[in-house]
Structure 1
Amino acid sequence: CSYILAKTCGGPSLQPFVVKIEKVPRQKKKVSGIQELVVEVHGFTLTLRRGESRTVMVNSISHRLPATLNHGKVHLYHHGMGVHLETDFGLLVHYDLFNH
């Protein structure tokens, strides 16, 4: 199942973005787990996958972390057991790659 967690709604002065997750059933557990997190921002589709702590998919191309995109408008880097994604307009997303 796919879910939209957050997206811009409003005026033209706001930078558009979408944050989505893909959930899958977990074996032997009664809850589903987040398999991947997708952020669409600044013309990029950024995909972080569970258990893949060293890479991010940028428009379907694998990049090693840390990564800086679009002349510093988007930064992705390790933070604890996960990855932080930060943008120039203040969006901050943390994805825990193992405990979600």
Structure 2
Amino acid sequence: MQWQGEVCEVQLWPHDKCEVKNGVRACQAVGKGVCTISGDPHYNTFDNSTYDFQGTCTYTADQGCHLEGTHLKPFSVVVENEKWYGMSNHPNVSVAKLVAVEVYGNTMVLRKNQAGMIMVNGIMMSLPVTLNNGAVQAYQEGTYDVITTDFGLRVTYDLVYHLIVTVPGNYRDKTCGLCGNLNDNKNDEFQLPDGNITKDLMTFGAAWKISVPHVVCEDGCSGEFCQV
């Protein structure tokens, strides 16, 4: 604890900077992690590891993990892929069809080619949308639809095939899913839900699949078999 006049700086959580001014304590995350999913699709994780995964199911791109005993807010970002017919009638590659964000008890869905629209808790709405007294906001920003929260989560989707997930630095080693665990270590990037590490991308991707009733999908191809 360090006093600077009427300011008390406190570092209680890793990658948090907290200040007490006039008796009011406020904390702000230091740094951030950025994961991108683009093309057919290419994944660049929080730890800057790049790989391809062509599954056409619904997968956890990112979620808060191991949050017990912390002040961090739970969230999840889910992506549903579909076969990409833009370059072939019989494609082996896929693109993002929709993105769903769950946070603060809300489920928000951005769907491919539905510009300016968002589904919130099953109800279709026009952007912009504000929820939970401003804690969650959804709006258009250039060619992207954006969902942001008051704790620093930011999800942007171009409604075609480019998705960016940004999380604040205080979620270091507290994330999991296809975007990785945000700990600056590429050697443990492909972590399964049970904590084990795999080097097989199809095993990794399939492990983060979310079961959707009555939906038929596949976990894709790998390597040289993924030709358009």
TM over 0.5: yes
Correspondence for 1:26? 84
RCO higher in 1 or 2 (8 Å CA, sep ≥ 6)? 2
Q: Is the 8 A contact 1:45 1:58 kept in 2?
A: yes
Number of aligned residues: 100
What corresponds to 1:11 in structure 2?
Answer: 68
Give the Cα–Cα distance (whole angstroms) in 2 for the partners of residues 70 and 26 of structure 1. 36
What root-mean-square deviation, in Å, do the aligned CA atoms of Structure 1 and Structure 2 show?
A: 1.2
TM-score, normalising length from structure 1? 0.93
Which structure 1 residue ranges, 4+ long, deviate > 6 Å from structure 2? none
Secondary structure of residue in 1 paired with 2:96: strand
CA contact (8 A) 2:147 2:155 kept: yes
Q: Distance in 2 between matches of 1:18 and 1:42?
A: 10
Task: Indicate whether 1:46 and 2:91 are aligned.
Answer: no
Higher strand share: 1
Alpha-carbon shift at residue 44 of structure 1 (Å): 0.4
For each residue in 1:55-83, what CA deviation from the matched residue of structure 2 results, as whole angstroms up to 9, or x when unmatched? 10001101110111111010111112111
- Between the aligned partners of 1:98 and 1:33, the Cα distance in structure 2 is 8
- Read off the aligned partner of 2:107 and give its amino acid letter: T
User: Is the helix fraction higher in 1 or 2?
Assistant: 2
Per the alignment, in what secondary structure is the counterpart of residue 71 of structure 1? helix
TM-score (norm 2): 0.42
- Distance of 1:5 and 1:92 partners within structure 2: 13
Structure 2: state its 5+ residue gaps.
1-56, 163-228
CA distance in 2 between counterparts of 1:89 and 1:26 reads: 34
| Contact 1:81/1:98 (<8 A) preserved | no
> Whose Rg is larger?
2
Gaps of at least 5 residues in structure 1 are: none
What fraction of aligned residue pairs are identical, expressed as a percent?
40
**Among 134, 150, 155, the residue aligned to 1:88:** 150
Q: Which amino acid aligns with 1:79?
A: E
